[in-house]
Amino acid sequence: MCEYCGCQDIAAIGELTREHDAVVAHIAEVRAFLRDDSVEDAAKTSRRIAELLGPHTVVEEEGLFPLMAEEFPDHIEALEGEHRQIESVLAEAADGTPDDPTWPARLLAGLEMLREHILKEQNGVFPATLTVLDTAGWERVATMRGHAGSALVPPHGHHPHPRDHHHRLGA
């Protein structure tokens, strides 16, 4: 994990990080399923990962990243390229268990890349947002989250609705 820099205190970054944590836990599950040759379970969990990453990626790419791209253009471009790579290997399981015998190995490689990718975001882009984003920037990210929603299962029976994310804007 990154050293504590305070970025986790920002709601938008905290939520992106909780999504990362959920994805990382599912990556471990997929690895265990594939060790047991349970491709069907790996495909099921891959669909859950894709579900979590859907709104997450919208918030990053349409909210956060455009604000970071001026200062870190190559870094952001590389992260977006990795998003496309992981999406494509996960998409192969969208409609069921892939028949392609090379899929499990490609999935494992993709998930390994995704774990590294998540660390890069948490150790690089997320802490850097503290110095780059201003209030308008954070409002833009919150608005994007409001549109995108979240596939996270909320803790403690709290049921967030996309509307909840607008409260900062109305204040």
Using CB under 5 A, list all residues that contact Fe ion: 121
Compute the distance between CA of residue 155 and CA of residue 139 in angstroms, rounded to an integer: 24
Shortest gap between Cβ of 54 and Fe ion (angstroms)? 12
- When the beta carbons of 30 and 79 are compared against Fe ion, the nearer one is 79
Compute the distance between CA of residue 129 and CA of residue 140 in angstroms, rounded to an integer: 13
- When the beta carbons of 92 and 121 are compared against Fe ion, the nearer one is 121
Torsional class of 43: left (φ above 0), alpha (ψ -120 to 50), beta (otherwise): alpha
Shortest gap between Cβ of 58 and Fe ion (angstroms)? 11
Other CB atoms within 10 A of residue 71 CB: 11
Tokens of 157: 């029976």
- When the beta carbons of 98 and 127 are compared against Fe ion, the nearer one is 127
Shortest gap between Cβ of 83 and Fe ion (angstroms)? 8
